[in-house]
Structure 1
Amino acid sequence: MDPRSEVLLRQADLFQGPLLIAGAAADGLLGQLPHAHAWTWHAGDQALLEQRFTGRSHYGVEVPQVPFDAAVLFLPKSRDLAAYLLNALASRLGGRELYLVGEKRGGIEGAAKQLQAFGKPRKLDSARHCQLWQVTVDNALEAKPLESLAERFELALEDGPLQVVSLPGVFSHGRLDRGTALLLQHLEQLPVGHVLDFGCGAGVLGATIKRRYPQSNVTLLDVDAFAVAASRLTLAANGLQGEVISGDGIDAAPDNLTVILSNPPFHTGVHTDYQAAENLLRKSSKILQKGGEIRLVANSFLRYQPLLHEALGNCEIRAEADGFRIYRATRG
């Protein structure tokens, strides 16, 4: 069980009534708290929780419309996202209890100061390298619309400026990361067809490809509901059409693809996690059509080239700069 869930169960008497657990881990916590519901923005966690606790887990970027007398937030990595989530939860909890739980190395002590906006926070427990904080919501601020927290910036590309809309919690929020910037310089001579932007984030790659190759169909895929929402906003801001879907990894992608583009993630919260990227590389041959190609950017220290060789029988390094490499491989 997730150590944050274990800390909650040490104080289980506090959580026996209607409870919303925001950012809940995909473990057995709901089985120990029969009146609790989960809210998650991670498609993989949602699938696991729904399988085990049908109807008690809710996926999306807005507070689910279920009754609750108290709420717990599992601290996310992003401080901006934590602020949005705390505000959204507190707006439903005037005079009632809001809890925050997180790992010490995830910055729980600093994040607990964000509770001061709603009342006087106090630490209830410290165990399993985690802390549990509580505040009675004396100041129930009106919930801020998510889109009002968007960061908008413009990219100067060869074929004109691209408007990017990023949301709290999305990778490289409010700016273009160096890896994607390098990949944007190496999108020439892609075959026209069905293109997948895997781990789309705010939709920079997908939107760029749709504008540069308008005859291609573009699908943008991410595990995170906030990234899915941001990608839709980015496409709309540029008057572009594309399919944006949520799903846990490459298994959620359509088949018979012409191109896969990606700056694949290798973190889950504060933890390193190569599974999504490695699954993408290993299964690329199964979802690419004959002659299709995968082109991706990755930190130079990541050993992706042997995985692509194994999956597709070839791999070349197209460019290398600023600690990143561009890889290209084709299905024969």
Structure 2
Amino acid sequence: MDPRSEVLLRQAKLFDGPVLLAGLPADGLLGELPEAQGWSWLQHEQLALEARYPGRCQFGTQVPAQAFVGAVLFLPKSRELTDYLLAALAARLPAGTLWLVGEKRAGIERAAKQLEPYGRPRKLDSARHCQLWQVTVAQVPAAPDLEALARRYPVATANGELQVVSLPGVFSHGRLDVGSRLLLEHLDGLPQGEVLDFGCGAGVLGAALQRRYPASRLHLLDVDAFAVASSRLTLAANALPGSVQAGRGIADAPHELAAIVSNPPFHQGVHTDYQATEQLLREAARHLRPGGELRLVANSFLRYAPLIEQHLGPCRVLAERDGFRVYSARRG
């Protein structure tokens, strides 16, 4: 059981009735709170919960439509995403109760101040290196417009400027990260056909690929609903075609791909997690056609080359700068 869930269960009577658990972990909490419903924006966690508790956890960027008398927000990593989620939940809870739970190392005490626009927050519990806060919603906000919260910024590429649209919670929100910048400079010579931007984030790599290789068919895949929405907005802002989908990881990607391009994620909330990237390296060959290429950027300290060579083939380093490397390997 996740320690945040354990803290909630110490106060289980508070969560009797139709309570919404927003951003809940994929553990047994729903089984302990039989009237609660879940809402997740991470596809792998939502699918795990749906398999265990059918019909009790929804996926997406918007608060589920069903009625609830209170809501618990499991603190996400992003402050901007926390602001959006608290406002979206509070808008549905006039005179209702809103709880915030999170780990101390994730900044729960600081984040608790984000409850202040809605009422007077108070700390209910502190255990398992976590805290639980509560506010009764006295000041009800208007439901936030997610798209209005987007940050838009230009990115220069070899094939012209792109407009990137980034939503709260998306990796490198509102700016181009160093790794993606390096990879954007090394997109030449890719095989054309079906091309995947894996872990697409705000869609900057996918948009650049479609601009450079207009005859290719672009796919974008991410586990995060906010990233999927961002990528769709980025493609629309640049009048570019492409198929954007949520997925658990490389297992949900198309097959017979000409190329997989990625600045793969390695964080899950405040935790470091390389599982999705390592699975990509192990399984990429199954999704590439013969001669298809995997090209990715990663921190230089990560020893990805041996894993790539073990599962795909000879690995080349195309570039190295600012603590990042661009790797390339083709399926034999």
Shared fold, TM over 0.5: yes
Cα deviation, residue 47, structure 1: 0.6
Cα deviation, residue 313, structure 1: 2.2
In structure 1, distance between residues paired with 2:64 and 2:7: 24
In structure 2, distance between residues paired with 1:80 and 1:289: 40
Q: Does 1:243 align with 2:243?
A: yes
What residue in structure 2 maps to residue 119 of structure 1? 119
Q: Does 1:99 align with 2:99?
A: yes
In structure 1, distance between residues paired with 2:196 and 2:104: 37
Structure 2 counterparts to residues 180-259 of structure 1, below 5 A: 180-259=180-259
Q: Does 1:23 align with 2:35?
A: no
Cα deviation, residue 118, structure 1: 0.2
Residue-by-residue CA offset, 1:266-290 (whole Å, 9 max, x unaligned): 1100001010000000111111100
Structure 2 counterparts to residues 67-86 of structure 1, below 5 A: 67-86=67-86
Residue-by-residue CA offset, 1:173-227 (whole Å, 9 max, x unaligned): 0000000000000000111101000000000010111111000001000000000
Residue-by-residue CA offset, 1:78-117 (whole Å, 9 max, x unaligned): 0000000000000000111000000000000000000000
Q: Does 1:144 align with 2:144?
A: yes
Cα deviation, residue 312, structure 1: 1.5
Report the AA paired with residue 50 of structure 2.
E
What residue in structure 1 maps to residue 153 of structure 2? 153
Report the AA paired with residue 193 of structure 1.
G
In structure 2, distance between residues paired with 1:76 and 1:84: 11
Q: Secondary structure, in 3 states, of the residue corresponding to 2:131?
A: strand
Residue-by-residue CA offset, 1:241-270 (whole Å, 9 max, x unaligned): 000010111001011111000001111000
Residue-by-residue CA offset, 1:43-95 (whole Å, 9 max, x unaligned): 00011000011111000000001110000000000000000000000000011
Q: Does 1:282 align with 2:282?
A: yes
Q: Post-superposition, which runs of at least 4 consecutive aligned residues in structure 1 deviate over 4 A?
A: none
What residue in structure 2 maps to residue 327 of structure 1? 327
Q: Does 1:135 align with 2:148?
A: no
What residue in structure 2 maps to residue 264 of structure 1? 264
In structure 1, distance between residues paired with 2:156 and 2:214: 19
In structure 2, distance between residues paired with 1:160 and 1:67: 47
Report the AA paired with residue 214 of structure 2.
P
Report the AA paired with residue 29 of structure 1.
L
Unaligned runs of at least 5 residues, structure 1: none
In structure 1, distance between residues paired with 2:313 and 2:268: 29
What residue in structure 1 maps to residue 13 of structure 2? 13
Report the AA paired with residue 55 of structure 2.
G
Q: Secondary structure, in 3 states, of the residue corresponding to 1:207?
A: helix
Unaligned runs of at least 5 residues, structure 2: none
Q: Secondary structure, in 3 states, of the residue corresponding to 2:80?
A: helix
Cα deviation, residue 291, structure 1: 0.4
Report the AA paired with residue 289 of structure 1.
R
Report the AA paired with residue 314 of structure 1.
P
Residue-by-residue CA offset, 1:119-147 (whole Å, 9 max, x unaligned): 00000000000000000000011011100
- TM-score normalised per structure 1: 0.99
Cα deviation, residue 158, structure 1: 2.2
